[in-house]
């Protein structure tokens, strides 16, 4: 059984994302963002589908301002894929499941 | 054995599609709603809705859509993720081509809505998500105490610009004419808002910046021809919408802007195929009109099915 999507913070971002051995998809979100809530079920499905091959984490931009600002994020939802500590993909705004799957597959 | 998968397939789960699903579900048709991303469409990026009856204090776009979706789910309606890429509407059985499968239906409702138009100026795509935005409710908090430019003159432009002023230091709203199209109550609020300044008779010609994001917006006055740069960290664009009808091109009749032409019954030029909401050629694109369209289209689809 896959666990739920884990929250990361400014303090844990380096350990959970940058130093991760598996590729990581980070969902930058906030509670006031309608489209962020709308894509959450798609991310849950992706989380199950790619279990073991891709780690998915969420970063609340209200509680953790320095991580999003270090990546120049000025829109949410923003999804980023990290591989070996490097950002390899960035998707801004609402995204369809098929498009997201393709972006993940391109980077695994 | 049935020759079709569903009586009624609705493409798009915004207010029009969800209302059609509600009516068709209550009529006990077999209904499938296909949504390519997440239910809601443009409503999701609307921060606050004040013109949908029944909510005296207003309602957030997300809450309204969540309630509409919940209501639909009470009536055995199937909502699936899927994007229609092409259609075959020739025979009595309509075929919808998805990336991974084909769905056969007796009637089809196109309710795919519209998307925010772009300006088509240099820098716009480059800085999307790094200062360029079409969604104040998603992105405004990233511009706290900044100066931003907004573009447009309709209801959306004014309403969202006023929302921006809760966060930013200053909004310069660039509008190509010398008066606003927006409804009077919004014009009054705009005029009373000290953080909002309207740059009349002007268009945006370029969005400039660096790796850090947007730094300035180039503006041209259409009357004097004078050009100037406004130092700004953001550029919010609300200049109307384009219909999401690429997949339907050549299959149903459209106007020159790609909006689908229907009769009073919301039927397209193909019997049994309907269009509802923002995707339709219509004088007013609102949640209330989309909802009304959806109900009419579902009602007409029921009649069409009864007479098959």
**pLDDT tens string B82-91:** 999 999 998 9
**Which residue blocks in chain B are alpha helix, DSSP H?**
15-26, 61-73, 136-139, 155-164, 184-192, 287-306
A45, B4, B144 from B106: Cα distances, Å: 30, 7, 51
Closest CA to B174 of B163, B185, B158: B158
Nearest-Å Rg of the Cα atoms of chain A is 13
Q: How far apart are CA A39 and CA A52, in angstroms?
A: 21
Per-residue pLDDT at A59? 97
Whether residue B93 is predicted with pLDDT greater than 80 in this model: the reply is: yes
Residue % of chain B over a pLDDT of 90: 88
**Residues of chain A contacting B138 with CB distance shorter than 8 Å:** 33-36, 75-77, 93
CA B158/CA B192 separation, integer angstroms: 12
Digit-coded pLDDT (tens) for A6-63? 999 999 999 999 999 999 999 999 988 888 988 998 999 999 999 999 999 999 999 9
Contacts of B148 in chain A (CB under 8 A): none
The average pLDDT across A72-93 equals 93
Q: What is the pLDDT of residue A2?
A: 52
pLDDT for A97 equals: 86
Distance from CA of A84 to the nearest CA of B (A): 23
Q: Which residue has the tokens 């606003």?
A: B180
* B139 among known catalytic residues: yes
Per-residue pLDDT band at A98 (split at 50, 70, 90): confident
What is the interface pTM, i.e. ipTM, of the complex? 0.76
In the prediction, which pLDDT does A56 show?
Answer: 96
Reduce the DSSP state of residue A69 to 3 states and report it: helix
Element holding A40 (H helix, E strand): helix A34-49
Please name the residues in contact with A64: beta carbons below 8 A apart, sequence gap of 6 or more. Answer: A8, A9, A10, A13
Among the listed residues B76, B138, B229, B263, the single catalytic one is B138
When pLDDT is averaged across residues B107-127 and rounded to a whole number, the result is: 96
> Quick check: B160 and B136 in contact, CB under 8 A?
yes
B184 pLDDT more than 50 = yes
DSSP string across B168-191: SSEEEEE-SSSS--S-HHHHHHHH
pLDDT score of B41? 84
Residues B39-61 have pLDDT tens digits of 988 898 887 899 999 999 999 99
Alpha-carbon distances of B49 from B3, B129, B155, B218, B288, rounded to whole Å: 42, 24, 11, 32, 11
Full strand arrangement of the beta sheet holding A55-60: A6-8, A55-60, A24-29, A78-83, A86-92
pLDDT of A1 over the 50 cut: no
Beta strands in B201-240 (DSSP E): 202-210, 213-221, 227-231, 234-237
Partners of B128 on chain A (C-beta within 8 Å) are 75, 92
Helix, coil or strand: residue A81: strand
pLDDT value at B167 more than 80: yes
């Amino acid at each position: 059984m896959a666990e739920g999507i884990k929250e990361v913070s400014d303090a844990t971002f380096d350990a959970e994302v940058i130093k991760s051995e598996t590729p990581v998809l980070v969902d930058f979100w906030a509670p006031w963002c309608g489209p962020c809530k709308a894509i959450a079920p798609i991310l849950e499905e992706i989380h199950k589908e790619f279990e073991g091959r891709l780690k998915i984490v969420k970063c609340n931009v209200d509680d953790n301002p320095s991580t999003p600002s270090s990546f120049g994020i000025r829109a949410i939802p923003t999804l980023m894929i990290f591989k070996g500590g490097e950002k390899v993909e960035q998707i801004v705004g609402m995204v369809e499941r098929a498009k997201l799957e393709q972006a993940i597959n391109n980077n695994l | 054995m049935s020759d079709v998968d569903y009586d009624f397939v609705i493409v798009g789960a915004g207010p029009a599609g969800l209302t059609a699903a509600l009516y068709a579900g209550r009529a006990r048709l077999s209904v499938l709603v296909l949504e390519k991303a997440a239910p809601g469409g443009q409503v999701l990026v609307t921060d606050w809705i004040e013109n949908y009856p029944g909510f005296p204090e207003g309602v957030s776009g997300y809450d309204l859509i969540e309630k509409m979706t919940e209501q639909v789910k009470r009536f055995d309606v199937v909502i699936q993720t899927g994007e229609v890429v092409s259609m075959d509407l020739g025979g009595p059985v309509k075929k919808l081509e998805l990336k991974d499968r084909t769905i056969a239906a007796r009637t089809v409702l196109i309710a795919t809505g519209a998307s925010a138009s772009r300006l088509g100026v240099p820098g716009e795509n480059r800085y999307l998500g790094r200062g360029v935005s079409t969604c104040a409710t998603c992105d405004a908090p990233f511009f706290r105490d900044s100066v931003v430019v907004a573009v447009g003159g309709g209801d959306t432009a004014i309403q969202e610009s006023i929302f921006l002023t809760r966060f930013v230091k200053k909004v310069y709203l660039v509008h190509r004419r010398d008066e606003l199209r927006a409804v009077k109550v919004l014009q009054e609020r705009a005029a009373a808002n000290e953080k909002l300044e309207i740059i009349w008779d002007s268009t945006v010609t370029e969005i400039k910046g660096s790796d850090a994001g947007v730094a300035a917006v180039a503006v041209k006055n259409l009357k004097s021809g004078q050009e100037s740069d406004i130092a700004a960290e953001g550029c919010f664009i609300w200049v109307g919408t384009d219909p999401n009808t690429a997949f339907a091109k050549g299959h149903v009749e459209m106007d020159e802007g790609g909006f689908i032409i229907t009769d009073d019954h919301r039927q397209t030029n193909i019997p049994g195929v309907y269009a509802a909401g923002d995707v339709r050629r219509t004088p007013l694109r609102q949640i209330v009109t989309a909802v009304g369209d959806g109900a009419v289209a579902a009602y007409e689809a029921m009649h069409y099915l009864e007479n098959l």
